[in-house]
Structure 1
Amino acid sequence: MHRNNLAAHLSIHGGLPVRDRTVLLREIDVAGIRGRGGAGFPAATKLRSVAPGRSIVVANGCESDPFSSKDRALLDLAPHLVLDGIQVATRACGATAAYLCLHEENRSVIAALAERRDAVPVEVVVVPHRYVASEETALVHFLGTGDARPTGKSPRPTERGLRGRPTLVQNVETLARFALVARTGADRFVHTDLVTVTGAVARPGVLEVPADTPISAILARAGGSGTAQTILIGGYGGTWMPRSLAEPLPLGREPGLSSLHLLPESQCGIELTRNILYALAGESARQCGPCMFGLPAIAADFTDLLSGRNATARLARRLPLLSGRGACAHPDGAVRLAASALRVFASDVQAHLAAGACRTTAGAA
């Protein structure tokens, strides 16, 4: 498939109406739009927290999680919808500047920008390809200083962000929804989600599904293996769940989550979790203890488990000490992933401790 040029975009969606801040905020609120970058925070609440005036809008299209590619697909195929959403956000915030942050240049976006003459020009900025570089304070810090590291939880960018001005950082899928709601109003807005499906599926990729679609239906569309029994929901900072418990749930139950990885039968969940934990430790900004020391430690603990050395007591002590302690939420995701792996793969942990291997790793050896 190819991107929609401006003419095709307008033929599908029509022109973007000019609505004032009060109307836009009400429609976005009534439509129930939440952030799609991972946090799932109500978008209208975040918009209202930005003082109108000389504010700034930052569109986050970096998508650092290797298990997710929904934002890249959206920018490739429907860049004008995202660019429209940026303009809606600038009106809702009274913003005078806008940036679109990506990990690499996107030809569809560049071509789309060349077709437009927007009230608030959008500047595309390429951000270093690091996991924490797409955290909202890291983006604001990078735009101001060239250093893509988080700066802490207070003050939030909506209060004092880029150049000391109130700054809205919003995921590109969320912004695309702004563009749709601005056209249809909340009463006719059709709520869909983009979800990336990987792992033991015949047709991996990005799907657009109606809101509250059960995970079972999403896996069926992707051709999920009937024998794979475990799902990672939410990528590197996500949660492992048994398939039997996850399938009845609608993806929208956790509105910020946008990826499903169906673990192949031939892969050890403890081993994959260990590999992800080491990757997360390597992606740390190295600014605070939980990331610098805690993440490598729990990754090493999982290595011990794989080798048959009992590290469960250490993990039980360490994991609660890391959650909520970082300058950003990077350690929180690692803790969530590790804790869920210990629950879901408890039998595999016991097999490793008893024999130094589980069924899958023994077969690989």
Structure 2
Amino acid sequence: MGARVNRLLDTPAAALDAYRAAGGYRALDELQKGTRTPRSLQADVASAGLRGRGGAWFPLTRKWQVALENPGPRVVIANGAEDEPGSRKDRHLMAHSPHLVLDGALLSAAALGADTVRLYVNEHAPAAVAALQGALAEATAAGLTHGVDITIVRAPATYVAGEDSAATEFLASGVAQPRTKPPYPAAEGLDGRPTVVSNVETLAHLALVGRDGPALYRSFGTESCPGTMLITIPEECVAPGVYEVVIGTYLDTVLANNGKGFVAGPARGVQVGGPASGWLTDLHVALDPDSVAAAGSTLGCGALRVLAKDHCAVDAVVSTSEFFNREQCGKCPPCRMATQFIHRATLAVLDGKGQVAQLDTAPTLIAQIRPATDCSLPGFPLAPLTTARTVFADDFATHLAGGQCGLVHRRRSLRIEGT
């Protein structure tokens, strides 16, 4: 299977006339004219099997169903907060194909009968904001946003700001912290209204389904997860950048064909879903949620992270635990305690002073405190730690014995893009 395709990125960047000439906003036009119904769009999206691209791969129509079961007026949030270290796909998509994102956001609003849309964009993504501003001005002048209150809101560059309930809380109060759930935002979100929060790439795919129909959409990808996805290839590869690949393409194919191989020779391992995902050493795995899960990891948002051949795995795990310890928002004391515990335990291992018992305690600790926290962040350092202990056992054994592994210790903090 080939690794390169351009469904999301091969669209006119900011020219409304060119975008409409290619079929853009056609489904929205039909909905506004009454020649197409919201129910028919809902059916097409269900038939297409569109799943979210924010990292959880949750079917879009399930969120819609929850929102539709609750009385309106409803709200749509296009989530472009993009707070995953190493991920640049969303800001690249918004900057390159703003009308595609806007088209999808307006289609979601039409499907739900929503009268409010918020384009929630990372504050450190100026090119994305500028492109969306231009597209929104064109669409508004053309009457495409009629009846919808739609604005761009700059999201704070913090990890939790992209969590669904944190996004609704920020829009309501200016504080980006997750809230206790249930109720989930789709049932009760912004100002108590049913609020569907969708990643901007999800909405771009929605625009493709609206334009081309479910059959063409399903001609890409797998039966359980149709379509394409955007991935971010890191600087450890010869050709880093954002690429669109067909879901189900093998990871090693993507690394060879898109990334053009590794700069420093064969890598020790790869995380495919950002720093919270498990480490993979067998790279011949299909990039779809089920296959990656079967291999012991998560597909997430497709932000690849490479462990170079000379890089210590313990050092990589410490940079992960440090990131989540730093980025926890401070709201839930059990989360603060757990992320601090894991960071201190892994840092002690790196310094040759670690204890196996502390590492063994981490999974039990997370299981105990998770019900008392408002989001999933406290568990995020766990998969990289537990998988690394298995696939890079020698690194841990050497450091736990008080020795030095002889590999590179970068001591480099993970950062959200632009911070």
Q: TM-score range, shorter-chain basis? A: over 0.9
1:69 aligns with 2:88: yes
The amino acid across from 1:164 in the alignment is: G
**CA shift at 1:155, angstroms?**
0.7
1:223 aligns with 2:260: yes
- The one-character-per-residue Cα deviations of 1:110-165 (angstroms, maximum 9, x if unpaired) are 11111112132421101211101111100101111111100122110111111111
**Cα offset, 1:199, TM superposition:** 4.3
In 1, the alpha carbon distance for the partners of 2:334 and 2:82 equals 23
In the alignment, is the contact (CA less than 8 A) between 2:311 and 2:409 conserved in 1? no
CA contact (8 A) 1:137 1:149 kept: yes
Unaligned runs of 5+ in 1: none
Judged with a 3 Å threshold, the aligned counterparts in structure 2 of structure 1 residues 22 and 47 are, in CA distance, closer, same or farther, namely: same
State the Cα distance separating 1:42 from its structure 2 match.
Answer: 0.9
Identity of aligned residues (%): 34
Deviation, 1:258, is 1.4
Question: Does residue 140 in structure 1 map to residue 163 in structure 2?
Answer: no
| 1:302/1:311 contact within 8 Å kept | no
Aligned-partner residue type, residue 185 of structure 2 = P
The residue aligned with 2:356 is: 312
Task: Please say which of residues 335-344 and 130-139 is displaced more in the overlay.
Answer: 335-344
Distance in 2 (CA, whole Å) between partners of 1:10 and 1:155 is 38
| Long gaps (5+) in structure 2 | 1-8, 221-226, 293-298, 412-419
Q: What is the aligned partner in structure 2 of residue 359 from structure 1?
A: 406
Contact persistence 2:165–2:178 (CA under 8 A):
yes
1:163 and 1:347, CA in 2 relative to 1: closer, same or farther beyond 3 A?
A: same
8 Å CA contact 2:232–2:243 kept in 1: the answer is yes
Matches within 5 A, 1:236-275: 236-242=275-281, 244=282, 246-253=283-290, 256-275=300-319
| Amino acid across the alignment from 2:346 | F
Deviation at residue 64 of structure 1 after TM alignment: 0.2
Equivalent in 200, 209, 215 of residue 172 of structure 1: 200
Instruction: Determine which of 114, 126, 132 is the counterpart of 1:109.
Output: 132
CA apart distance, 1:264: 1.5
Report the secondary structure of 1:76's partner residue. Answer: helix
- The alignment's TM-score, normalised by the length of structure 2, stands at 0.82
Partner of 2:20: 10
Structure 1 residues 15, 101: CA separation in 2 closer, same or farther (over 3 Å shift)?
closer
Contact 1:157 / 1:167 at 8 angstroms: preserved in 2?
yes
2:356–2:400 contact (8 Å) kept in structure 1: no
Question: CA–CA distance in 2 between the matches of 1:280 and 1:183?
Answer: 40
Map Cα deviations across residues 223-256 of structure 1 (whole Å, 9 max, x no partner): 12241120012112222111x2x32333443564
Q: CA deviation at 1:83?
A: 0.2
Q: Secondary structure at the match of 1:239?
A: coil
Q: Take 2:409 and 2:156, find their aligned partners in 1: how far apart are those partners?
A: 39
Q: Which moved more, 1:233-242 or 1:336-345?
A: 336-345
Alpha-carbon spacing, 1:57–1:303, altered in 2? closer, same or farther (3 Å): same
Q: Distance in 2 between matches of 1:302 and 1:80?
A: 45
Counterpart residue type for residue 199 of structure 2: N
2:223 aligned residue: none
Residue 89 of structure 1 is matched in structure 2 by 108
Shift of the 362–126 alpha-carbon distance from structure 1 to 2, 3 Å rule, reads closer
Q: What number of residue pairs does the alignment pair up? A: 362
Q: Which letter maps to 2:343?
A: A
AA at the equivalent of 1:80: H
Structure-2 separation of matches of 1:160 and 1:235: 29
Does residue 233 of structure 1 match 2:272?
yes
Computed over aligned residues only, the root mean square deviation of the Cα atoms, in angstroms, reads 2.0
Distance 1:321 1:133, change over 3 A: same
Does residue 346 of the first structure (1) align with residue 385 of the second (2)?
Answer: no
Instruction: Tell me the SS of whatever aligns to 2:207.
Output: helix
Give the aligned residue type for 1:249: A
The answer to whether the Cα contact below 8 Å between 1:251 and 1:257 also exists between their aligned partners in 2 is no
User: 135-144 or 121-130, which moves further after superposition?
Assistant: 121-130
**Structure 1 residue matching 2:50: 3-state secondary structure:** coil
Q: Which amino acid aligns with 2:389?
A: L
Q: Give the letter for the 1:98 counterpart.
A: V
Equivalence map 1:264-303=2 (5 Å): 264-303=308-347
- The alignment partner of 2:67 has SS state of coil
